[in-house]
Amino acid sequence: MRIGVYPGSFDPVTFGHLDIIERASLMFDRLIVGVLVNNEKRPLFSADERVNMLRIATRHLPNVEVRGFQGLLVDFAKEVGSTVIVRGLRAVTDFEYELQMAQMNRTLDPSLDTVFLNTDLRYAYLSSSLVKEVASFDGDISSFVPDFVARQVAEKNKK
Ligand code: PNS
């Protein structure tokens, strides 16, 4: 069975992430979406909230499973029986950081490879950080995230 891992912070999940998940789900028998729990970036949403949003947004994809993970990605990949990490590349600006991570992960575990999917052009400019910034100034984020996610972001901003 081919198992892929798509890791990230997903704070919150965007249409860019969902596009990668849908495409990657066609390439593997199972795709595990790994949500980083111990995130240094001080996320807006708790790990449980991020996992739940992803579960709802991917429930039409039967071979996709969403799980939180702590610690090293290479350990999580091994735990779920995967040797392939999937990452999305939006632009050349992502490349340096992504290559660095891929090299580090392959050094930590040489049986692990990273594959990159180019982000759909519709979402090439999209990031969770920009979505949060737009929402924090009451901007409309309905083209960037599912409606239920937009409502949860708005709720956070009220608090
Ligand atoms: O969505 P992000 O924030 O770009 O995802 C980054 C993520 C979660 C893939 C990365 O930070 C990660 O794998 N963290 C787990 C800790 C780890 O393994 N660090 C070494 C990776 S080189």
159 tagged catalytic:
no
pLDDT digits over 78-117, tens only?
A: 999 999 999 999 998 899 999 999 999 999 999 999 999 9
Amino acid identity, position 46: S
Phi and psi for 44 in degrees, rounded to 5?
A: -70, -40
CB 71 within 8 A of CB 90: no
Determine the structural domain holding residue 14 and report its residue range: 3-158
17 among known catalytic residues: yes
Q: What is the dihedral of CA 35, 40, 44, 45, to 10 degrees?
A: 30
Other beta carbons within 10 angstroms of residue 146's beta carbon come to: 17
pLDDT digits (tens, 9 = 90+) for 13-69: 999 999 999 999 999 999 999 999 986 778 999 999 999 999 999 999 999 999 999
Q: 73 C-alpha vs ligand 1 centroid, how far in Å?
A: 7
Distance CA 89, CA 101 (A): 13
Total count of domains within the chain:
1
The CATH number of the domain where 33 resides is what?
Answer: 3.40.50.620
- C-beta of 18 in contact with ligand 1 (< 6 A): no
Q: Which atom of ligand 1 has the smallest separation from the CA of 41?
A: 3
Given the residues 41, 59, 122, 151, the one annotated as active site = 41
